[in-house]
Amino acid sequence: MSIAHVLLGLLAEGPKHGYELKKGHDERLPGNRPLAYGQVYATLQRLERDGLAEVAETQREGGPERTVYAVTEAGRAELSRWLEETEPPVPYISSPLFARVAVAGERADGYLVRQRAAHLARMRELTAEKGAGTPAQVLAADFALQHLDADLRWIETALARLKGDDHA
């Protein structure tokens, strides 16, 4: 995921300062790691340097000075290009789950059973969270649930193969 493109998308809604961008990122992408303020400001500096964002104004309302940024026409064009781009399927398996099983080989069954239990517990948590979530939180939970479900199906297949069931 490109933090720069996410920030451009948030700026396309209207000028914002760094705090608002961090908050918007964290609300829209609740399944992601929260964005650090330093990352927001470093990204804004690169966007400004590249002509994709610009300083709209500087505010001082009883606290520290806040710089408000706006997206430029070049930034809107870059955001449109990014939004229209198809994300290629991941060509490599880089999951820690797969790595542990690949290294453990025939000894992986205990790990897989424990991992299945952890996946099921997380799926129950996510399902419960969906009831009171914002639309972004529900979408994030759905995304995570479907990936966890795919992992569970793979775990079941791996357990069957380790037991010698070649039809799994």
pLDDT for res 134: 87
Domain residues of the chain, as ranges? 3-84, 96-162
Query: Given a cut of 80, is residue 92 above it in pLDDT?
Result: no
> What sign does the CA torsion over 53, 55, 56, 61 have?
positive
**What distance in Å separates the CA atoms of residue 59 and residue 56, rounded to the nearest whole number?**
10
pLDDT for res 119: 94
Residue 55: phi and psi, rounded to 5, are -75, 125
Q: Are 136 and 25 in contact (CB under 8 A)?
A: no
pLDDT tens digits for range 98-147: 888 888 878 889 999 999 999 999 999 999 988 888 888 899 899 999 99
* Architecture, CATH, for domain 3-84: Orthogonal Bundle (1.10)
pLDDT for res 1: 58
pLDDT tens digits for range 18-63: 999 999 999 888 878 889 999 999 999 999 999 999 999 998 877 7
pLDDT for res 163: 86
